[in-house]
Structure 1
Amino acid sequence: MRNDAQGAAPERPPALATGPRVDHRRIAADVGASFVVFLVAVPLSLGIAVASGAPLIAGIIAAVVGGIVAGLVGGSMVQVSGPAAGLTIIVADLIMTHGWRVTCLITLLAGLVQLALGAFRIARAALAVSPAVVHGMLAGVGVTIALAQLHVVLGGAPQSSALANITDLPDQVMHNHSPAVAVGVITIAIMFAWNRMPSLGRLRPAMVPAALVAVATATVIATTSRWQVETVALPGSLASAWNGPVLPESGQWHGVAVGVATVAMVASVETLLAAIAVDRLHSGRRVMLNRELCGQGVANTVSGALGGLPVAGVIVRSTTNVRAGARTPLSTVLHGVWILLFVALFANVVELIPMPALAALLVFIGVRMVSVAHLRDLRRHHEGSVYLVTLLGVVFLGLLEGVSIGFALAMIVSLRRLTKLTVTTEERAGRVHVTVHGSLTFLGVPRLAHVLRTVPEGARVDLDLHVDFMDHAAFEAIHAWRVDHERTGGSVDIDEVHENWYARNSTQSAPAVKTGPAGLARWWAPWDMRGDADREVNPLGLLAAGAREYHSSTADRMRSVMNRLSHGQHPTALFVTCADSRVVPNLITASGPGDLFTIRNLGNLVPPRDAPGDGSVGAAVEYAVNVLRVPSIVVCGHSHCGAMRALLEKAHLEPGEAGTSHMCRWLANGAGSLVRVGEESGALAGLPAAEALRRLAQANVEEQIGNLMGYPVVRERVESGELELTGMYYDLETARVHLLDAGTGEFAPVRGAQSVKEPVPQPRPGANEGAQLLDESSSGASSRPSC
């Protein structure tokens, strides 16, 4: 920042927060996306109504209500709701059993159940259903839809079961060659090939929905060729189309209650899983699950009352919405408005659509619901069997039966994992090391006892218990073996990494809950405070030991996260901080992989845009803002900063020795911070060293924010409201984070959720109990570099 001759106070960076204003670009993007989703939703809604056996207008009503009502009330920014293929089998069975108007009542009551679940804030409980069961259910529904609608494409009629559809398929293929087949083949061929076609200049096939092109082409060909095929039949007016709910007969209430629970559960789980999946595709506000569930409940209540199909959040239309540029719920609401206007004004166009074209569209969608990617991912987590069993159960036994079997298998797999136990032995330095990993319950006692019996009599034994739970049967087995082994002249040293399960069982005061997974209870402590007596003392050995601990306790849990992140990064913030080893960004922000795009250097400096020399910081800023489109930049300084101390001691004005010349040249980028804090006018004179350092470090954060505003890409996005700049200060002695208040220019401490003092990890016997978290040179003695 420029310094004036009179030494006046430096100008503060412009205000970072402004009042609400209309973003015309965002509105234009939402309007454009709504048209794209509308073009996809019309044929899909009609097709799902056909597959469900409901009146065709019911699909349109559900699409309109899902768009307008769920969009206005729901908690997702870009999710689109409407009739869902995953509910097709349920609705078809309800219509066959109770009739259409009672099914409308079931939809209405299911909406009230969803509204109650959302109001009681238990939306996350729906996510307890295993994704393997959900994806297997959807895949089974897709196969069932495809098998049934394939008969319609071939000019026949679907049979009563999937097995009957399979056995009757060869006869349909051999003997039906009507125009309906040609319409279906044309539709499927276009759906398959459209997005694989090459681009024509700026025109790309993906800009026009494949479903619209396929259905429109089949309609034009069938109409101009005068083929005799069944077409869509809509009622004469929307008013006459109302066919709302009625009460069931007295003996049907039990079936109605089961139907209400089924529709509410499936629609809720599908909606919430889709909402979480869609959140990965955009950088806006995250979904509010309870509010989204309330929105779905209101939409289903209205849809059922108006004679529409059940509504759920749908991944295909939601993904289309995001890729078309949607940013707010305005796109979802407008797509419902366009559907209503189109059907009201152009019903005669809709009635030209051949029914085989809609059936072919459903065949394609049904096949796509069997996701090989989901199966591959589930196999890596050893849940492929749950997926396949659920799929086959839904296809051949029915939806409820298949889901029940899949859920039971998922529970068995989970119980097996919870009781999984790993016991290893190793002889080292005259001692036998026995290591136990997992949950130590009575189910694991036979394996543990077998391994302990192999330990030679009289041996010195180290028993390491990396267990997150120990029941009484396991304690008795270990204690009895220990007593017998020590009676024969041996020794047993039991080392517990987490809660002292064995020790507390010995005093009859075992903790009541499971502890964290292996390694996580002490990962944040420095190596010299871990208390590992056998840990290597050289740096390479420490790193290797840390890597081994990571692989033994964390790598398996990280694999699924990192596998997903390997396809691309979408960080929430660019985090600029000091290279000081005591500042750990992910620790002080409770963030994980993929959250922070980090720049670290001496003094957390951001050189002015036109400053000569190292351009790596500017390159990282431009990449984060222009390419990664981060919504936030954080500059984080800290107390006891060596770089700030060097600035106070004028190290940047000295030429520097051979070993510190680069460091001195780099620190010159912080000269503006000295001007900002008023050091040249004596503002820091007479202050204690720690207070002067604090003031300079905090002024340095503000200075770097000002330097960031000198980058055009940063200034443009800040002024448009797309980027926020934040100052942060970390106090090492108190381990507290402070945030810069842009209005007052002061750093205020962040308040924790609870004022509970965190327990300090206790070193094991033999550990260096005098280890200090803070470096001695940071708390008083001068450590000026020899510049």
Structure 2
Amino acid sequence: MSAHSHSSTTRPTGNTSNTEHGMQDHEHAPAESGRGEHSPPGGSWFGRTFPHARADLSASIVVFLVAVPLSLGIAVASGAPILAGLIAAVVGAVVAGLLGGSKLQVSGPAAGLTVIVAELVNTFGWQVTTLITAGAGVLQIVFGLTRLSRFAQAIPPAVVHGMLAGIGATIALGQLNVVLGGQAQTGGVNSITALPGAIANLSWPALLLGGIVIAIMLTWNRLPAKLTVVPAALVAIVTATVVSLAFTDVVRVQLGGSLLDALSLPTLPESNWGGVLFGMLTIALIASVESLLSAVAVERMKPGTSTDTDRELLGQGAANTVSGMIGGLPISGVIVRSAANVKAGAETRASAVLHGVWIALFAIVLIGVIELIPMAALAGLLVMMGVGLIKPSEIRTARQHGELAIYAATLLGVVFLNLLEGVLIGLVLAGLMLLWRAVRSRPHLEQADDGSCELVVEGSLSFLAVPRLSRELNAVPRGCDVTVRLVTDYLDHAAYDHLLAWKARHEGTGATVTVIEPEQARRATAPGAGFLTWGEWQGMRTEGHASGTLMAGVAAYHDNTSEAIRPTMTGLADGQSPSAMMITCADSRVLPHVITHSGPGDVFTVQNVGNLVVGPGTAAAVEFATGTLDVPIVAVCGHSGCGAMQGLLAGGASGDSALGQWLREARPVLRAYETGHPVAVAAAEDGFGEADQLAMVNVAMQLEMLRAQDSGAEVLGLFYDIRSARVLVLDEAAGRFVEPRADIGTDGSDLDRIAAGHGHGATAAARRLLKV
């Protein structure tokens, strides 16, 4: 039984048109025994050629309504011409939308760049700033061509999140002055010192208009879902604009022409080329990091999507180059617009591109409408945008990982110094904390009931840790037998000498000292403790008795494992309460508890040939698990190189043997595969062979059977690729198995992506099952 080969180009027979996402909407008609079979697609030529036209069109309108007020506000906060924000919005939508590596990401002017752009405008003027934007785009293209995107992921998240929070605080403080009737300030210190004056000269109309926007932004999501379909920012700006018509002394947006009139070429600086080049590098780095972070967030929100990070940098670089050359703001991927795009149901790049077209038409045709918007309303919107960059979840994450000091230092540095110095402070502090963790040792002394002691030393044991080690060693009572267990990754000569000297002195009191070093601890581990086969850890099979290897394993269990597992099993002796059920193949290579990283009592498991949800035995198990044990989720797991699927392809279902009769239960699966089931098409595109394609279709069809049983439990589809030892998860919306991304994010956010198999975010049950 061989695992799949990714060089395979085999495709299932039958209708295989519309092989990408268009296949996901095909319906499955009920078939015998409650199972479904795939129905080939129909519909008009336009529907087959542009299967997502309606979804992308509606999503583009939603993103357009979100983007217009945000783009205007960001231009104001940056100290740039207001129309520069709309120019950047159009260029980012079209250029980055077409060329970028994330098909659902929406790019445009971003709040994360406002502080640095405002500083550049104050230093060099607007026309030179556009040159810096174009140069930054060229650098991003170089980053993409040289595949430097992976290095952006090396920046500590606490520094990135602290930087964005500092930018948000700076924006909010600066625009709060405008809400109060004063002037916008650049820099956190200037904004704070200007607040008393703005309060003393308070403008009630400005406060009213800005307050209306803030109030709507704070309360909009609490309203009924039917109302919140309209973006909060649009409602807030329109409402404030209507109210402002009652006042005559309100400062409004002044454009000075249409979008076409705002197009302009950059100019060269008269001096300070070093500052210009440094500005280019700064914009390129910040825009690149922000775009890649946004792309990762889009992957989490839309299971099955993936990002070509190097291509994304090429697309962002091209967009910034064009934007700078025609008078636009710097561009990056924007999570607010991208999230709106995903939530509105976008499926392809067309939604991002179309929203740029709508912005261009709006800015050219409806210029008079924009000039009715009061500046205080935009300031209120920017205050909320700034506050939105300070995310409590990121603060909690930084605290959980012991990086709150890095987050806070970066935030304060950005607010009270400037962006670059704040980021540098964060990076230096992150480096110092890394050094501290690398050299820190964690010795702790434990005393047993029999009077013996054990000193466990964790971390790196260097000369810097000798004082703390000495304190713990001196706490060992005289004459007390002690075991020193070194769970260390580094032991230098000074610490080693100190330990040997203490050992000699303590043995002089008549005590016994046993030092267990890391290599000795590894050798003492049970031979079967790792994921080794009997043949690997026993060295050879026991000859003469078929039960030899099995009983040798039982003996090793009793010698090395039973005592360790006894407390857990004692707690389970009176009953089980599993968090999930798994139906998988009886293949000896498929280990349900291993691939779900679960232990005794966690997963209620049924294994049969071909992981079929058929027969009274499996039905009884499902009924018992969901009815009696109240298991909230049932997973079906197929695998590569499945002998049952190979037999099904070879006609094994026609035999009269018990196996043949069993495989006949899977004939609807074979028919669905042969008629072009979307999961099979996607698997073929991903390079899986015929048997593995059929195995994936089998998982999808078994999920349909489980739903037909109406047990009330969630269902989840998995596929174990034996050759790579990776578990793939069925994204039913996309009609394909996807790679889980459990290495990114915190608080279970990536499990929302992993658990795509049951159609919405991860339930608590799915989180418990998918511990990988």
Same fold (TM over 0.5): yes
Q: 2:151: which partner in 1?
A: 125
Q: Do residues 387 (structure 1) and 413 (structure 2) align?
A: no
- Does the alignment pair 1:209 with 2:214? no
Question: Is contact 1:603-1:637 (8 Å) kept?
Answer: no
User: Which of 424, 436, 441 is matched with 1:421 structurally?
Assistant: 441
Q: Equivalent residue for 1:158?
A: 184
1:481-531 CA distance string (max 9 Å, x none): 45666677665544344699999xxxxxxxxxxxxxx99x96545997999
Q: Following the alignment from structure 2 to structure 1, what is the Cα–Cα distance between the partners of residues 323 and 187?
A: 29
| Correspondent of 1:355 among 366, 375, 381 | 375
Alignment-derived partner of residue 566 in structure 2: 541
CA distance change for structure 1 residues 679 and 39 in 2, over 3 Å: closer, same or farther? closer
Distance 1:113 1:605, change over 3 A: same
Q: Quote the offset at 1:154 in angstroms.
A: 2.1
Partner of residue 590 from structure 2, selected from 583, 599, 609: 583
The answer to whether 1:602 aligns with 2:614 is no
**1:119-155 Cα distance to aligned partner (Å, 9 max, x none):** 2222121122222222222112112111211222222
Alpha-carbon distance change, 285 to 533 in structure 1, aligned in 2, over 3 angstroms? same
The one-letter code matched in structure 2 to 1:18 is T
- Render the CA deviation track for 1:185-215: whole Å, top value 9, x for unaligned: 222222222222235xxxx222100001111
1:243 partnered with 2:264: yes
Aligned to 2:710: none
Give how far 1:349 is off. Answer: 2.0
- The number of residues matched between the two structures is 627
Q: Distance in 2 between matches of 1:530 and 1:172?
A: 80
Cα gap change, 1:748 to 1:177, in 2 (>3 Å):
closer
Deviation readout 1:290-337 (Å, 9 max, x if unpaired)? 222222122111111121111111111111111111232222222112
Structure with higher RCO (Cα < 8 A, 6+ apart): 2
Q: Following TM superposition, by how much is the alpha carbon of 1:445 offset from its aligned partner in structure 2, in angstroms?
A: 2.7
Q: Secondary structure at the match of 2:608?
A: coil
1:457–1:193 CA distance, 2 compared to 1 (3 A): closer
The verdict on how the C-alpha distance between 1:235 and 1:502 changes in structure 2, with shifts beyond 3 A counting, is: farther
What amino acid maps onto 1:635 in structure 2?
G
1:123-272 superposed matches below 5 A: 123-159=149-185, 161-199=187-225, 204-223=226-245, 225=246, 227-250=248-271, 252-272=272-292
Map of 1:450 onto structure 2 = 471
Task: Give the structure 2 partner of residue 328 of structure 1.
Answer: 348
State the distance in 2 between where 1:304 and 1:629 align. 53
Does the 8 A contact of 1:608 with 1:707 survive in 2?
no
Deviates more, 1:575-584 or 1:141-150: 575-584
Q: Write the distance in 2 (CA, Å) between the matches of 1:176 and 1:539.
A: 70
C-alpha displacement of 1:98: 0.9
The share of aligned pairs that are identical, in percent, is 45
Residue of structure 2 equivalent to 1:435: 456
CA distance in 1, matches of 2:385, 2:695: 56
Deviation at 1:96, TM superposition (A): 0.6
Q: Equivalent residue for 2:18?
A: 20
Q: Of 390, 409, 419, which aligns to 1:370?
A: 390
Offset, 1:227: 3.0
Which residue in the other structure is 1:399 paired with? Answer: 419
How far did 1:235 drift?
4.4
Alignment match of 1:463 (pick from 461, 474, 484) = 484
CA contact (8 A) 1:32 1:324 kept: yes
CA distance in 2, matches of 1:674, 1:287: 35
Structure 2: give runs of 5+ residues left out of the alignment. 1-10, 23-46, 538-552, 573-578, 627-631, 697-718, 726-772
Contact 1:16 1:725 in 2 (8 A): no
- Of 83-92 and 359-368, deviating more is 359-368
* Aligned CA distance change for structure 1 residues 478 and 297 (closer, same or farther; 3 Å): farther
* CA distance 1:576–1:367, shift in 2 (3 Å): same
Q: Is the 1:137–1:391 Cα contact (8 Å) retained in structure 2? A: yes
- State the TM-score, normalized to the length of structure 2: 0.70
Residue 733 of structure 2: aligned partner: none
Give yes or no for contact 1:89–1:141 (8 Å, CA) kept in 2. Answer: yes
Larger radius of gyration: 1
**Structure 1 length as normaliser, TM-score?**
0.69
CA distance in 2 between partners of 1:141 and 1:349 (Å):
30
Match for residue 667 of structure 1? none
In 2, Cα distance between the equivalents of 1:153 and 1:209? 21
Q: Residue 153 of structure 2: SS of its match in structure 1?
A: helix
SS of the residue 2:89 aligns to: helix
Please tell me whether residue 46 in structure 1 is matched to residue 81 in structure 2: no
- Equivalent residue letter for 2:276: V
Partner of 1:205: helix, strand, or coil? coil
Contact 1:634 1:725 in 2 (8 A): no
1:333-732 pair list within 5 angstroms: 333-428=353-448, 432-455=453-476, 461-482=482-503, 492-497=513-518, 524=531, 537-538=562-563, 540-541=565-566, 543=568, 576-578=583-585, 583-585=590-592, 600-604=605-609, 614=619, 634-636=637-639, 677=652, 680=655, 706=667, 719=677
Whole-Å Cα distance in 2 between the matches of residues 247 and 402 of structure 1? 29
Q: 2:129 aligns with which of 103, 107, 125?
A: 103
Q: Partner amino acid for 2:566?
A: G
Change (3 A) 1:177 1:234: closer
3-state SS of 2:305 partner: coil
Compute the displacement of 1:606 (Å): 5.2
User: For the Cα contact (< 8 Å) 1:117–1:123, is it kept in 2?
Assistant: yes
Q: Do 1:705 and 1:725's aligned partners in 2 also have CA atoms closer than 8 Å?
A: no
CA deviation string 1:212-255 (max 9, x = no partner) = 111112222323x36332322334344432222222223x1111
Q: CA deviation at 1:706?
A: 4.3
SS at match of 2:209: helix
**Contact 2:585–2:607 under 8 Å retained in 1:** yes
Query: Which moves more between the two structures, 75-84 or 207-216?
Result: 75-84
Work out whether residues 592 and 605 of structure 2, in 8 Å CA contact, stay in contact via their aligned partners in 1.
no
Cα distance change on mapping 1:741 and 1:605 into 2, 3 Å:
closer
Looking at structure 2, the residues matched to 407 and 284 of structure 1 have their Cα atoms a distance apart, in angstroms, of 33
Deviation at 1:84, TM superposition (A): 0.8
- Is contact 2:683-2:693 (8 Å) kept? no
CA distance, structure 1, for counterparts of residue 555 and residue 99 of structure 2:
51
- Whole-angstrom CA distance in 2 between matches of 1:75 and 1:635: 31
| Contact 2:209–2:376, Cα closer than 8 Å, also in 1 | yes
Is the contact made by 2:288 and 2:313 (CA closer than 8 Å) also made in structure 1?
yes
CA distance in structure 2 between the partners assigned to 1:40 and 1:286 by the alignment: 24
Question: Which whole-Å deviations, capped at 9, do the CAs of 1:597-625 have from their partners, x for residues lacking one?
Answer: 9884131565567979826659999xxxx
In the other structure, the counterpart of 1:658 is none
Work out the CA distance in 1 between the residues paired with 2:104 and 2:624: 32
Measured in 1, the distance between the counterparts of 2:523 and 2:139 equals 46
CA drift of 1:347 comes to 2.0
Moved more, 176-185 or 346-355: 176-185
Residue correspondence of structure 1 range 83-94 to structure 2 within 5 A: 83-94=109-120
C-alpha separation between the residues in 1 aligned to 2:625 and 2:690? Answer: 23
Structure 1 residue 49: deviation in Å? 0.3
Partner residue, 1:9: none
1:412-469 CA distances to partner (integer Å, 9 max, x unpaired)?
2222223332223345567543322222233223222333344466765433222233
Unpaired segments of 5 or more residues in structure 1? Answer: 1-12, 504-517, 548-565, 622-626, 645-669, 685-695, 727-736, 754-787
DSSP-derived class of the 1:449 partner = helix
Q: Given the superposition, is the C-alpha separation of residues 522 and 474 from structure 1 closer, same or farther in structure 2, using an over 3 Å criterion?
A: farther
One-letter amino acid of the structure 1 residue matched with residue 18 of structure 2: P
How far apart are residue 368 of structure 1 and its match? 1.9
CA change 1:292–1:162 in 2 (3 A) is same
8 Å Cα contact 2:100-2:314 kept in structure 1: yes
Name 1:740's counterpart in structure 2.
Answer: 691
Given residue 217 of structure 1, which amino acid in structure 2 is its aligned partner? T
* TM-fit CA distance, 1:580: 7.8
SS of equivalent residue, structure 2 residue 372: coil
Contact conserved, 1:577 with 1:599, CA < 8 A, in 2? no
